[in-house]
Homo-oligomer: A and B are copies of this chain.
Amino acid sequence: MNALQVELGERSYPIYIDSNIYNDLSYFQKHIRGNKVLVVCDSNTAQHYLQATLAMLSDYQCQSITLSAGESQKTLDTVSQIYDALMQYKFDRNCTLIALGGGVVGDICGFAAATFQRGVTFIQVPTTLLAQVDSSVGGKTGVNHPLGKNMIGAFHQPACVIADMSTLRSLPPRELKAGLAEVIKYGLIDDAEFYHWLNDNLQDLLALDTDKLAYTVTRCCGNKARIVAADERESGQRALLNLGHTFGHAIETAMGYGNWLHGEAIAAGMCMAARFSANSGFLAEEIVDSVVNTFKSVGLPTEPPADMTSEQFMDLMYRDKKVRDNVLTLVLMNDVGGAFLSSTFDTELLRTTLFQTLNK
């Protein structure tokens, strides 16, 4: 079993990474607060994992709520359903929420935990690769606004993260590929060695090689834990984790939440960030090609949707959370493993690059 620690003072917590642990009480027990537990899952994870989870928690006053699946459900209305359940079951502050599912369930459940009675304990049990390597770690919680992704939210760290490799076996191939987009991101940001390892091992990961998956999740979480520990509230370097995300969020918002998976949108977004980095003179053309080929070999999109326009991109990107006083900070690259923040890039060149990519 691999265990990592996210070092955040009194808010520090462990990430457990292994197989067949999602229903092992010994991992949960010391992190559950109080006697009342609400398991939050969606229609997919309910089918596979809810029964065993409830059986594991039979010594607690345990309730569950099953949300409809998909990014389109990541709304304030869905959070309200969780509040309703908590109130109906008379949960008090001394309770624990368990997010059993992918990134959407984790983000919604985490935000409910952040805001119910001004904050209660929650545990992340990510069941998708994307949630295991990224969204379950770091305490970003929240929901979407019709005009922008993740616009409503709070920082609220989980009590622990339990990443079970065996849950990845129930994952549809499209979701697995989407998760690999976030995995590749860690290589591109500051871990070139891992990027090269990935290029040699992507097909084994797609074939669900358990050891290689565990290695991958451990490496990604290690990278993320280090970055989050240094900058919990994203006042600086944590923003590097958003490589490809400003482009990607624009795609997700424009196409309607859930039509492009988050991983698909940021794969195209990272290719666009690489292309713009090259056009700006920061990145060699052959690295753009390598990046694009890596995403292609996984079967991920490397171009934005053909029906978006450059003006639509500009408009949506300038609503991003990384805009300050109308100045956008983008994550650009000068090498594989060499991501950096730039707020002094050439805005007109960005517009031109988008126009060239989209021909409109």
Contact = CB atoms under 8 A, between A and B. Distances in A.
Interface of A: 34-36, 76, 80, 83-84, 87-88, 90, 92-94, 114-119, 140, 142, 145-148, 151-155, 318-319, 321, 323-326
A138 B152 CA distance: 22
Most chain B CB within 10 A, of A80, A92, A114, is at A92
A319 B116 CA distance: 13
A115 B153 CA distance: 5
Nearest to A146: B87
A176 B129 CA distance: 57
Given A92-B321, A92-B323, A325-B92, A117 B153 contact: yes
B118 A155 contact: yes
Closest 5 CB pairs of A and B: A87-B147, A94-B324, A92-B323, A118-B153, A117-B321
Contacts of A119: 154-155
B325 A94 contact: yes
A96 to B, nearest CB: 12
Given A116-B151, A118-B140, 19 more contacts: A36-B325, A76-B76, A76-B80, A84-B145, A87-B146, A87-B148, A87-B319, A88-B147, A90-B319, A92-B319, A93-B321, A93-B323, A93-B324, A94-B324, A114-B154, A115-B115, A115-B154, A117-B151, A154-B154
Contacts of A84: 145
A309 to B, nearest CB: 18
A305 B80 CA distance: 30
A115 B154 CA distance: 6
Most chain B CB within 10 A, of A80, A146, A151, A155, is at A151
9 contacts: A83-B152, A87-B147, A90-B319, A92-B319, A92-B323, A92-B325, A92-B326, A94-B324, A116-B152
A64 to B, nearest CB: 19
A147 B321 CA distance: 34
Contact of A145 (B83, B145, B151, B154): B83
